Amino acid sequence: MNFKIPLFDLNFDERESEAALETIKSKWISTGPKTTAFETKFAGLLNASHAVALSNCTVALHLSMKLVGVNAGDEVICPSLTFVATCNAIRYQGAIPVFADIESLERPVICPKDIESKITSKTKAIVVMHYAGFPCEMDSIMKIASKYDLKVIEDACHAPLTEYKGLKMGTIGDIGCFSFFSNKNISTGEGGMLVTNKLEYFEKAKLLRSHGMTSLSYERSKGHANTYDVVDFGYNYRMDDIRASIGIIQLDKIHHDLEKRAAVRSIYLDKLKKLDNIIIPFVNHKEFSSNYIFPIVLKNVDELERDEVRKKLAANGVQTSMHYPAVHRFSVYSEFYKELPKTDLMIQSMITLPMYGGLTESDIQYVVKHLA
Q: Note the pLDDT tens digit of each residue in 292-307.
A: 999 999 999 999 999 9
State the average pLDDT for the chain.
Answer: 96
In angstroms, what CA-CA distances link 320 with 163, 172, 307? 27, 32, 10
pLDDT tens-digit map of 321-364: 999 999 999 999 999 999 999 999 999 999 999 999 999 999 99
Q: Write the single-letter amino acid at 102.
A: I
The active-site residue, picked from 34, 184, 204, 271, is: 184
Question: Which residue from 239, 245, 151 is spatially nearest to 194, judged by alpha carbons?
Answer: 239
Q: Among 3.40.640.10, 3.40.50.2300, 3.40.30.10, 3.40.50.1100, what is the CATH number of 14-252? A: 3.40.640.10
pLDDT at 335: 98
- 92 pLDDT above the threshold of 90: yes
- At 226, the pLDDT band (50, 70, 90 cuts) reads confident
Instruction: State residue 223's pLDDT score.
Output: 60
- What angle (nearest 5°) sits at the alpha carbon of residue 129, between those of residues 126 and 132? 165
The phi, psi pair for 277, rounded to 5°, reads -105, 15
How sure is the predictor about 220, in pLDDT bands with cuts at 50, 70 and 90? low
pLDDT attached to residue 224: 64
What residue ranges do the domains of the chain occupy?
Answer: 14-252, 255-371
CB 111 within 8 A of CB 89: no
pLDDT digits (tens, 9 = 90+) for 122-151: 999 999 999 999 999 999 999 999 999 999
Residue type, 97: P
Architecture of 255-371 per CATH? Alpha-Beta Complex (3.90)
By CB neighbour count within 10 A (0-12 exposed, 13-18 middle, 19+ buried), where does 198 fall? middle
Q: Is 184 a catalytic residue?
A: yes
Asked if residues 208 and 235 have their Cβ atoms less than 8 Å apart, the reply is yes
